[in-house]
Amino acid sequence: MKTKKLVALLFSAILIVASCGKEDDQPETPIGQGKSSGQVFYASTESHKQPGTKVYADENMQVLWNENDHISIFNKTTFNSEYLFTGEDGDNSGRFEEIPATGFVSGNTLSKVYAVYPYYNNNKINNAGTAITMTLQSEQTYKAHSFGIGANAMIAVTENNFLAFKNVCGYLSLRFYGDNVSVCSITLRSNNGEKIAGKASIAVSTTAPPVTTMDNTATDAITLVCDPPVQLGATAEAYTDFWFAIPPTTFSGGFTITVTDALGGTYEKSTSRSFTVTRNQMDWMNPLKVEMTYDEENTFVPFEDANFKAYCVNNFDTNSDGEISLAEAKLVTEISVNTDENHENISSFKGIEFFTNLTIFICNGFNSSGVMLSKLTSLNLNQNTALTRLDCSYNQLTSLDLSHNIALTELDCSYNQFTSLDVSQNPALKKLDCYSNQLTSLDISHNIALTELECSDNQLKFLDVSHNTALSYFGCSFNQLTSLDISQNTSLKTFGCIFNQLATLVVSQNTALINLDCYSNQLTSLDVSQNTALSFLRCSYNQLTTLDVSHNTALDYLECSSNQLISLDLSHNTALTQLYCISNQLTCLNVSQNTALINLDCYSNQLTSLDVSHNMALTDLRAWPQGGTLESLYKLRSQAISYKNKAGSTISPSDYGTTIIEVDE
């Protein structure tokens, strides 16, 4: 453990007006009847060497007052007078006004003025003025980064009008983190019975620090109460701290910490080594992960959304009690809310964290009928460490923490609002679909098992896939890529990069490639001679002047429209069924070897003739010229073929039969 001094940063004075009050068990020396003495006192903080004392601490460890704080003042008498702070919460100085007592007041005379925080009517001082008896809280209230009201006991003694408060206790900060843990209480108990709360006698002096002696009736435990429950941070770096005010104590056998949460679960941690709490110093423990234990049969999942609860009860309530116990939740391995037509309005999946054996979770924005569901804005799956498949597509998620889901093999988070996505902790990932988000970067260097990657429709300017040698499917269309190296992706079978800004694309190493779609880039050349397995090629809307597909004998679909091609040799592509070569500069097109051709679009070229006499399977043809007339169109058999001219009119086989026809542009 480390030690840090609790230091007040400001040294302003606090104006205090002293008066008398009533205390039933005070000695019977009469002082007056409900009247103020009118005397003025000033209070100041301790110096840097003896750090400051006030009621609570801010993030800079400066201790401050709360609105309506009450203190006891023994104004040269053993009578306990009550004073009220009239400033505002967070002030470091202010005025204290007497709350006048009623009836007769009494007390023995003292030579000095003493003050105690907090005020209790049983605060006492002995007749010699050497010791104050007060109660140190055994139940303290949680306050973020501070101690709760009344926990920071302090005293002051002066021979003049200035009160210098000094802390009675030291401080211990317990730092916890955990997944979906809401803390209700924390109890700290000494292992060897050292007394740390209850009745205490404080030796006081104008020069020395206060010395605390605990009474035999005191207790060995302090409980910190959190109302409402406090949600723990999820990581060690984002820990939540809990402050205890503890009288100076040496825990000779260490201490035990017991945490309870909102469901009644418990967590216990003990340390056996000796540990000392020093007055006016802060000590802390290193961040500790809290993992709760429950009575699983009788503890129910705390659903936030009634629709999600109804879905779970309908599907997983094995004892038909209308609830899902933690034991029942552990039996569930798959949740797919999309299959339930009655639960289309789930807006929160809080409670999913108790389904710890879940392997498949589908909560995308559509049900099985294609109806849009409610949009999720948050999703916490930190406890679902067994998850292998997650589909949360078509929602409104802006972030997704997958650092705990190391078993994940399939992730579909497309159609959300992610600007970043961290999959570095998911080395088992094989399929990743993050289509249609707002990603500006994507690091997949740790995902060497990836076989499918779809990251289209984002804002990526750079993408490194050199580590993903197992990729067989890769889509990165609709991004802002100016270069892309896929030379290491030798297993690639399907690749799409349309609507980017690629000036070059080398696919010579991708000999397994079957589908290549590089539509709408800035390519001036494309070498597919090594891609002999290619059956689909779309390279339209580039700046190609040549295209050699003579080695691509398996080619079934070819679209090379809107380039600058002046010739196209298709004599080796006998398997071709779809050809789209519109808006080029072709003067001749020979499709006589392409007898399997079904669709042919070759309009807006410079063709003056087109022979389709060998294309018996042809059912759709669009062939109007870029200029002039199409002088001849051969048709030798009357199969079902339609010819669409530029105006969109359709000419049926009976219109032209086996004759040569001329069609104006």
Percent of the chain clearing pLDDT 90 (strictly above):
64
Segments making up each domain of the chain, as ranges? 2-289, 297-431, 460-555, 566-665
pLDDT at 90: 74
Please confirm whether the linkage preceding 118 is cis (ω < 30° from 0): yes
Residues 605 and 626 sit within 8 Å (Cβ to Cβ): yes
pLDDT in tens, 336-352: 987 655 556 788 999 99
What is the pLDDT confidence band of residue 67, given thresholds at 50, 70 and 90? confident
Q: Which residues contact 269 (CB under 8 A, 6 or more apart)?
A: 256, 257, 288
pLDDT higher than threshold 80 for residue 40: no
Choose among 158, 164, 154: nearest CA to 43.
164
What is the pLDDT confidence band of residue 555, given thresholds at 50, 70 and 90? very high
pLDDT in tens, 144-166: 888 888 899 989 898 877 777 88
Q: Do domains 297-431 and 460-555 have the same CATH topology?
A: yes
Question: Mean pLDDT throughout 491-511?
Answer: 97
Q: Is 19 exposed, middle or buried (0-12, 13-18, 19+ CB in 10 A)?
A: buried
Percent of the chain clearing pLDDT 70 (strictly above):
81
CATH 3.40.50.2300 is held by the domain 297-431: no
Q: CA angle 332-338-343, nearest 5°? A: 90
Phi, psi of 306 (to 5 degrees): -65, -30
Of 192 and 33, the one with more pLDDT: 192
pLDDT at 176: 96
pLDDT at 280: 87
pLDDT at 418: 96
pLDDT higher than threshold 60 for residue 59: no
Superfamily of domain 460-555: Ribonuclease Inhibitor (3.80.10.10)
pLDDT in tens, 578-611: 999 999 999 999 999 999 999 999 999 998 888 8
Centroid of chain to Cα 73: 50
pLDDT at 18: 26
Cα distance between residue 409 and residue 433, in whole Å: 12
Question: Mean pLDDT throughout 366-373?
Answer: 61
Per DSSP bridges, beta strands 96-98 and 81-85 are antiparallel
pLDDT in tens, 613-631: 899 999 888 886 554 344 4
pLDDT in tens, 503-543: 999 999 999 999 999 999 999 999 999 999 999 999 999 99
pLDDT higher than threshold 50 for residue 647: no
Select the highest-mean-pLDDT range: 405-419, 632-646, 650-664.
405-419
pLDDT at 373: 62
pLDDT higher than threshold 60 for residue 361: yes
Residues 346 and 321 sit within 8 Å (Cβ to Cβ): no
